[in-house]
Amino acid sequence: MIGHNRPFADYLAHPSYGSSDLRAFREGPPALVPWRRKNRSAQTDATRIGIAAHCAILTPDLWDETHVVKPEGMEFRSKENKALRDAWIAAGRIILSQDEWKQVQAIHAAFLNRSIAADSLHKALGIEASVFWTCEQSGLPCKARPDWFTEQTVYDLKVSVVAERGPDSLAASAYRNGWLHQLAHNAAGLRANGVSIVNGRLVIIAPNPPQDHRVWCLEVRENDIDFLELDNVNTRRGMAVCHSTGQWPGTPDQWQTIELPAFAGFQESDLSAEGAEEVQSWL
């Protein structure tokens, strides 16, 4: 099932498992999965900017319902202003300062100025659609919420300092942060619902100036999406056992024998200067 107008809060509350649950299971122990589902991370300045940028770019019609920009010079000291702040919070609206609003505007403009990204969003068949399916290989009930998708491609938008570090680290960071597995998970959900997804794409935008010069448009090929999905399937199989039994074990209740790392037997004098620097970086 693909739901095109499901509120994000309802999507989060749905008991199926999303890509963040798969990542928690891979990081282990399995007990992290139910714990993280019950203990959502608090918003930070960075996540607040990311959420606001997503709304401005993907669902601008929801902006007034979900966000508010604090008027210039406004402080929450008076009784009236405190009451207004509390009303905004009670309504679930994210409060942005003027500087944060300018930052969101710069991110939005950077996206629109990158024509290949903006054109793909214009052609979207679904934007922030909630996707539900049962994994055929594992039987695990799954969910996904791709930022947008077209006839053959699934997209994800990231606002991250990763975009500020240069091209050499992008692929490694995208893999390490779980973004590539997330693309594969989203693709699997869309395919299960009859959408012929071939590849996945990431749009990564720097949160800090100059945002317009640090927009990265990355593509993951079909073979790599399929390879990542095999890893997802293996993860879902392990999760399915925990889901069916209701048992999500933590760390073992016994002493675990560990092996020394490979570099433990080296002395700096045994190595070339280059090798010594490498070992020091490990340490």
pLDDT tens sequence for the chain (283 residues) = 999 989 998 999 999 999 999 999 999 999 999 999 999 877 888 889 999 999 999 999 999 999 999 988 888 888 888 899 899 989 989 999 999 999 999 999 999 999 999 999 999 999 999 999 999 999 999 999 999 999 999 999 999 999 998 777 899 999 999 999 999 999 999 999 999 999 999 999 999 999 999 999 999 999 999 999 999 999 999 999 999 999 999 999 999 999 998 888 766 555 555 555 544 544 4
Residues 6+ apart with CB under 8 A from 129: 2, 3, 4, 6, 145, 146, 149
Contact 120, 148 (CB under 8 A): yes
Helices (H), 14-131: 19-27, 32-38, 45-58, 63-66, 79-90, 98-113, 115-122
CATH of 1-17+114-243, one of 3.20.20.70, 3.30.1330.10, 3.40.50.2300, 3.90.320.10: 3.90.320.10
Domain segments of the chain: what residues? 1-17+114-243, 43-113
What pLDDT shows up at residue 41? 79
